[in-house]
Amino acid sequence: MTGQPLRIAAVVLTYNSTDDLPDCLSGLLAQAGVDLRVIVVDNASRPEARATLEADFLAALPGGRVLDVEAARPKDLADRTAVFLRNPVNAGYSAGNNIGARLAAALGCEAVLVINPDVRIDDPDYIAILFDLVMADPKTAVACSKLRSLSGMHENPMCEPSFSEELLWPMRMISARLWRASAGPQPPTATSRVDKVSGACFMIRSDFLRLIGFFDTSVFLYCEESILRAQVLAVGWHMMMEPSLEAIHAHRSSAKGSPLVRFRFWAQSRRQFHRDYGGYGPLRRALLICSRALMMVLAGGGYVLRHRLSGLSGGGVGR
């Protein structure tokens, strides 16, 4: 790379993520060829967890600042390469990431890497390569890499289901064999456009964020990927994937609480998505509500939720 280093932000949204943040920061600090601003937003973690997160942040980034969200003024942070923002409320995934993304845009960052604290990146050129990809075409909104779970499953690209596929999701819960066969599309072998990307790790252009008014906060958790896909398509832009890069999503479902509680969040978010972006009429939306209700009954009866709601093609990452 030549000329002035590229100013890019990495926004890391935490919530009691004490087991994950140090490894995530380690990967970010190893990045080369970019002027990287690390913005950690803590979404109202427990007091003891927040204290640990702040200590880990300052250990990794001694020059960083720890501030309440209300005190984060861009003019005071222009020369800072790292900031930890204490959000007093947990308003969800999109609202938390918006805090970091808005600050990044105000600091002049041309793009934002949205990265979960449980994502690991080892390639020192990871961010620079994704930035080159997302900026190569003025209509590229988002760029992503391969994303592999600890079990080896590919989480990128994702695929938005058709109406009939989504309606029949209860059958996938009953048939574990069919469920496994429907895990999702395999990554492309070359740089390609993709339909939808995982919310666990992706790069998004700041000018596109301004165009859409930043992330939609109508859902608390899950289905953000479907919403972002709809927003990209609505303005005629697209998403890209670079399969030569890979990140590891060290997600542990057992640490995320009750699968049934998370399923309820997913069902609420899916209903909101269909109301605002799905393009279905009242009858189809009602049928999908019935389908999700059946899924809840099956889940309560002991049928597999696969622990990971991201196994549902229209869902979100099991954060």
Nearest to 82 by CA among 49, 35, 15: 35
Whether the pLDDT of residue 245 is over 70: the answer is yes
Whether the pLDDT of residue 255 is over 70: the answer is no
- Selected residue with higher pLDDT from 313 and 208: 208
| Lowest-confidence segment of 225-229, 244-248, 296-300, 308-312 by average pLDDT | 308-312
Whether the pLDDT of residue 227 is over 90: the answer is yes
**Can you tell me whether residue 5 is helix, strand or coil?**
coil
State the virtual CA torsion across 193, 164, 153, 269 in degrees, nearest 10. 90
Check if the beta carbon of residue 57 is closer than 8 Å to that of residue 21: yes
> Nearest 5 degrees, angle CA 266-CA 163-CA 115?
40
**Can you tell me whether residue 13 is helix, strand or coil?**
strand
> In the numeric block, which tokens belong to residue 89?
């409320």
- Is the pTM higher than 0.85? The answer reads yes
Give the start-to-end residue ranges of the domains of the chain: 6-158+185-252, 163-183+255-311
The pLDDT score that the predictor gives to residue 179 is 46
Q: Write the pLDDT tens digit of every residue in 61-80.
A: 999 999 999 999 999 999 99
DSSP letters along 224-284, please? Answer: HHHHHHHHHHHTT-EEEEEEEEEEEE---GGGS--HHHHHHHHHHHHHHHIIIII---HHH
Q: Write the pLDDT tens digit of every residue in 7-47.
A: 999 999 999 999 999 999 999 999 999 999 999 999 999 99
Check if the beta carbon of residue 256 is closer than 8 Å to that of residue 318: yes
**Can you tell me whether residue 187 is helix, strand or coil?**
coil
Check if the beta carbon of residue 192 is closer than 8 Å to that of residue 236: no
Whether the pLDDT of residue 96 is over 60: the answer is yes
For the chain, give the percent of residues with pLDDT over 90: 78
Check if the beta carbon of residue 197 is closer than 8 Å to that of residue 157: yes
CATH class of 6-158+185-252: alpha beta
Q: How many residues in the chain? A: 319
DSSP 116: -
Mean pLDDT calculated for residue range 93-112: 97
- Selected residue with higher pLDDT from 296 and 289: 289
Q: Is the bond preceding 157 in cis, omega lying within 30 degrees of 0?
A: yes
Nearest to 157 by CA among 172, 142, 167: 142
The pLDDT score that the predictor gives to residue 162 is 94
